[in-house]
Every structure is written in structure tokens, then in C-alpha cells.
Copies of this chain bind each other. A is one copy, B any other.
Amino acid sequence: MIERFGHGGDLETAQAAFGVDRSAIIDYSANINPLGPPPHVLTRVQQELKDVVHYPDPDHRRLRAMLAEALQVDASMICIGNGAAECMALALLAMAPKRVGVIYPCFSEYAELSRKFGADVIGIYGHAEQAFRAGVDEIIGLMRKVDLLFLGQPNNPTGVQYNLEELEKLAAIAAESDTMLIVDEAFIDFIAPDKQATLLPVVERYSHVILIRSMTKFYAIPGLRLGYAVAGPTLIQRLKSKQVTWSVNRLALAAGEACMVDCESYEEVTREQTVMEREYMIERLEREFGCQTWPSLANFILVRLPKPWTAEWLQTMLGRRGILIRNCAMYEGLSEADIRLAVKDRERSVILFEQLADVWQEGV
């Protein structure tokens, strides 16, 4: 198991564990856009290098203004963070919940960060036959017991969404039960705009809803760290009041600004490729390898291996061949046979399936 720090994408640990050079690793364990960063974003970061001698803007003014225009909200409704993870931490620090609710399986940081900042975690389990979603009534029941609820939209590691009607119901109950609803939209950009279920256009109406987004997955810059929260101005002010000065570095801000310009075709190609390659991967996984998958809308797939294969064993076998996959055995609500695969490009997926076939043939 190479998720020493609870996540995929840890090339250092993988290199040490499998004896493969990290630069040669094909990483299906982290859900990053396989196109890599848009070239003009890298150019902009390169130009910004001459300015690392200056502090970042502590108020993130330019990026907030650009995001505000793109999202059609006021700039006072945006808090830029050092990755989506910082936004989640700020929400926890600002709200200081005693009890946090989660719906398993979900991103491990919801529980990790909550415990880190002193909250107890209460979880309910999604149902395998509903792609691990819980029923809205069950979620409402949970909300009445907790001070803050994390909801992945689309959820990680399943890739499924709740629909808008369900979200609006939850948002209304959030206010009623004084429970902060944190909707983690870190992967929503991978979904075509007309298929995204998001409270964004109406978020200001809800006193108890915070949306959190990531710019590092879709634009392939996780090394730089960049995310943001969107909520009503009062909530955003509360998040900002807990933020450490200059926590967002200058190159991340510059990259974010560049992502807001001339990225339309990059965004379109990304979404098209995600759909196409996800279908390709699911088809082969099911047909050739007898795996079970769930209907993801995101750039990753939750996969249940057929007996007698285990996630740990497959991770080791593929790891030695230079391919990283995410072992999902430590996700509450999942099993030892569950893995998560990022959706990448055809070239690398062909290699993945070649290696998979090899491992399959060798047998357990």
C-alpha cells in the first residue's frame, strides 16, 4: 500500500516501494487532466518567475475579479485558497463544528481535516446499487445530527452527482437545521456545463452553503496548489478571517489568471476526451477483465476487481511495471477489491491494458 499519506499521486513513496524511477511512472492514482497544463499557462508562470522576489497579493485581487466575471458572482463571494484543501480547512476553522457528517465512500480529507481541527465525524454509507449515493432523506437525517456536512459533487471516488432538486432540498434543510453544507466541486469542471448539477447560480440565496472548487485537477497544476470557495459574502468573510497571509503563492495566482483566458478549446477537448476515454476504459475493464464499474461523470472510475484479485495485489504488480493505481481498500464503505483509475489518454491507457493483461495472465 503506497497511500502512506492517504492519497494517490505520491510518486516518492511509489519509487521507494516499487524500485521504479518516478519520472517513468504512469500515474493512474491521481485524477489530473492528462493533457497537462495549457501551454500558455506554463508560459505565464515562467514569466512570473522574475517576480517571485515580491510577495503574492495578499488579497488575490486580479484572480478574484477574473473568477467573479467567469462565474457571474460578485468578487466578495470568492475566497482563493492554497488548493481546495485549504478552503476546506478554512471552512472547518471558521465554523468550528463539533460534529461533521460525511457520506462514505468519499474523499478521505473530509474526515481527516475534521478530526485534525477537533470535530467528531459521523458517517452514513451510500448504497452500491445507487453508485454509493445515499438517499436524500438519509442525508437530511444526518444533517440534523451534525454542524457541517461535506458532500462531493461529483463524489470522489465514485464520480456521481446528486441532482439539482436534491441539492436544493439539502441547501434548504441546511439553513433550517443550522448545518453548514460544504459542496466539494473539485471535479465538476470535468463535466459538460449543461450536465453539471451545481448551486452556483443561486448560492447567494443560501445562508448555509459553501461551494469549493479546485483549479489544479482540471488545469493539471496540482504542484502549484490553487482552489477557491464560493458562497455569500458573509460566509466568505468568515473563511478569510482564518486564512494565513500570503498562503496562496504568486505563481499559483499567475497560473490561475492565465487559466481564465483563452482556455475554451482546452476545456472542450478535456471534457470530450474525458467522456471518450472513460467509456473506452469502462468497456475494456468490464468486457476483457470482468470488472464491475459505476457510472462516473468525472475523470476517474471506481472499479471492483473480480475474485480473487485484490486492490493491494494489483497495485503491487502494476507498480513494479511503472503504473500507479489507487487502492481503495482504505475507503470506508469500499472493499479490498476496489481500485480507482484516473481517466487518461489513449496512448497511456493502451499501455495500462497491456500491462493489466500481462498481470491477469500471470494469475494471482
Contact = CB atoms under 8 A, between A and B. Distances in A.
B7 A55 contact: yes
A224 B244 contact: no
Contact of A57 (B12, B59, B225): B12
Contacts of A83: 244, 246-247
B246 A53 contact: no
A287 interface: no
> Main SS of chain A's interface residues?
loop
Contacts of A52: 37, 42, 45, 220-224
Contacts of A93: 117
Contacts of A54: 9, 11, 27, 30, 32, 222-223
Contact of A6 (B116, B245, B252): B245
A46 interface: yes
Name the residue among A10, A49, A52, A251 with the largest chain B CB count within 10 angstroms: A52
* Interface bracket on A: 35 or more
In the complex this chain forms, how many copies of it are found?
2
Given A83-B246, A244-B85, A245-B109, A221 B46 contact: no
Given A49-B45, A116-B242, A247 B225 contact: yes
A94 to B, nearest CB: 10
Interface in A112-144: 112-113, 116-117
Given A12-B61, A61-B12, A86-B244, A53 B221 contact: yes
A89 B244 contact: yes
